[in-house]
Structure 1
Amino acid sequence: MMSRKPLGQVPGIYHRAIGDIVVTAISDGYADAGIEPLRNIDLSEALLLFEEKLRPVRRASINCYLVHSEGQIALIDTGCGPYFGPTAGQLQRNLSAIGIRSDEIDAILLTHIHPDHSAGLTDVADGRRIFANARLAVHRNELAHWFDDVEMAKASDQDRRFFFDTAREQVTPYKDVVQAFEGRTEVFPGVLSRPLLGHTPGHSGFTISSKGEELLIWGDTIHIPEIQISRPEVTLTFDCDQELAAETRKKLFEEVSARKTLIAGSHIDFPGFAHVVQRRDGYDLLPEPWSYTMR
């Protein structure tokens, strides 16, 4: 009889060339969640949309991305660490599968400081920096918000523990190597930050460009593709500014569909590479076909 413990399939790694830069999607696993946090949609309608997509539960992939550029390695987001149960927290296992040690990573680029993106920074048992030789690049507004005692005092006890305490535990060990960026800044060779505000005060994407090719890693622009692609006005309770998050999403959909920009998302089914296309009745998400060899 099979063990109840989730069994891994093949290593969760996938390489994609962007010009001379190699981007490697690294799976941190997945997390199942309910639809109760959804806003601006009736929950019965949300359930119907899931059923139409043959999705019985809301299952969120958790994707991180390595960027290999000019002999250096950056990691975009660090996954969940131990916070989301046995189906998540797989980043280190999958890094090992491609022979990369944590101390070989030169930079960590955070889309934002929610725990499913930043809780792989620090070993919670001893406070040790997992990425011992990496600098940490994150939007200045993220640091200001999650380290603001006034903002922390406004939060519920649950949010205080889960978001604020975790943010401080994970980021503080890197305080001497933090690069706080604003606007569009080159944070790594061939990588520009791109503010995509609303989900959090400093939520950012990263545009990777080389030899005329481009990829936008858009972080948490969407959490639930089954709903938010066709209904970009739908938000979640943990969007810090729900109105701005929806507006950012709508504008970005318009831009990337018009420009046919390749995107990658933290919560799009692994490996997360896709295009947004405009239909007569809204938008659709077209995952890039899986390739056995690196494109």
Structure 2
Amino acid sequence: MQTRRSLLKNTAGLALAAGAITSLPVAALAKAPMVGMQAPNYYRLRLGDYEITALSDGTVKLPMAKIYEQIEESEAEAHLANHFQSNPTEVSVNAYLVNTGERLVLIDAGTGTLMGAALGKLVANIKASGYEPSQIDEVILTHIHADHSGGLVADGKRVFENATLHVNEREADFWLKADEKTRADAALGPQVLQAEQCVGPYVEAGKLRTFANNAAPLPGFGSVFRPGHTPGHSAITVESKGEKIVFWGDIAHGDILQFDRPDVTVEFDVDQSEAAKTRAIAFAEAADQKYLVAGAHHAFPGIGHVRRDETNYDWVPVAYTATF
């Protein structure tokens, strides 16, 4: 039977034991170094019978409040800050692989080495996603700006050695058959040289094909002429089993400001007035038809829907899913 004396004795013993434990030297915890990098950036979803793989070329900080046009820089900066986006703003560069089961099609090709070390990660992410550049059968460009065509070449050679390149004919003519006035333009001239550098090897190899406005670049792939950002800028459409996705290139830069203010343009727009009109049409159609949209400069993976709200439109990213 436990008496008051035995209880005090046991309690004292426990106290002594606890004191002995706390007096032992504490083992030092190992300090793990910070990794400082993300996992490979690809994301998959199903579209009917097709497999869509979003691929990141990287992200880059750009002074978007200054780049936006038709709005005061201070107003743009305040609008971004109100949505927890800083200035400079982290901007994604995305590309997309469509596996139809019969062919593997890349839509846009990232920057390659043209825009710094923060970008140019497309090929690494293609490989991380389980494919090889040599497996790609076709490449379709929404337009020929360097952040969409720079990844076509490396050291002057075709990265996608077995692929045929498809570009809107008006887009190809503007950049690859530029007149002297365009070549002499301070902004456009360097872009012409980049276009020739990136697309030229495919032309020389007989691997460039052009498509007309609103025509199909390939069987099963449609296009929608969306001019303004560039003269031949085109969205690419894909459908399977009643499901539809539109890869709309540079209809919007970012997820916030232009959805509230479709009239806001960017300094990269070749025809700013036309770009604003095109964006208004594209937003309205996406909201009405409720199809999936994939944007080259929405936060990765850049896939979502457009809906109307009290300030014009809202971008709604797809919910992440670990199942496929």
Could you state the TM-score of these two structures normalised by the residue count of structure 2? 0.85
Q: Counterpart of 1:23?
A: 52
After the TM superposition, which residues 1-295 of structure 1 pair with which residues of structure 2 at under 5 Å, given as runs? 7-34=36-63, 35-57=65-87, 58-123=89-154, 125=155, 127-147=156-176, 148-156=178-186, 159-161=188-190, 163-175=191-203, 176-294=206-324
Greater shift in the superposed pair: 221-230 or 210-219: 221-230
Q: Secondary structure at the match of 2:217?
A: strand
Q: Secondary structure at the match of 1:172?
A: helix
TM-aligned CA distance change 1:151 to 1:122, over 3 Å: farther
Which sections of structure 1, spanning at least 5 residues, go unmatched?
none
Contact 1:70–1:189 (Cα < 8 Å) also in 2: no
* Aligned alpha-carbon RMSD (Å): 1.6
CA distance in 1, matches of 2:181, 2:108: 23
Q: Which has the higher contact order (CA 8 A, sep 6+)?
A: 1
CA distance in 2, matches of 1:272, 1:83: 22
Moved over 4 A (4+): none
CA distance in 2, matches of 1:133, 1:245: 34
Q: Which has the higher helix share?
A: 2
Q: Secondary structure at the match of 2:59?
A: strand
Aligned residues: 288
Q: Secondary structure at the match of 1:229?
A: helix
Greater shift in the superposed pair: 97-106 or 214-223: 97-106
Q: CA deviation at 1:263?
A: 0.5
Q: CA deviation at 1:80?
A: 0.6
Deviations along 1:107-158, one digit per CA (max 9) or x if unpaired, are: 01001000000000011x3x111111100000011111112132433410x5
Q: Secondary structure at the match of 1:233?
A: coil
CA distance in 2, matches of 1:143, 1:20: 32
| Structure with larger Rg | 2
Q: Counterpart of 2:5?
A: none
Contact 1:69–1:189 (Cα < 8 Å) also in 2: no
Q: Secondary structure at the match of 2:151?
A: coil
CA distance in 1, matches of 2:36, 2:173: 40
Deviations along 1:164-198, one digit per CA (max 9) or x if unpaired, are: 11110010111111111112222234211111111
The amino acid that maps onto 1:82 is T
Contact 2:45–2:53 (Cα < 8 Å) also in 1: yes
Q: Which has the higher strand share?
A: 1
Contact 1:76–1:111 (Cα < 8 Å) also in 2: yes
TM-aligned CA distance change 1:155 to 1:7, over 3 Å: farther
Identical aligned residues as a percent: 36
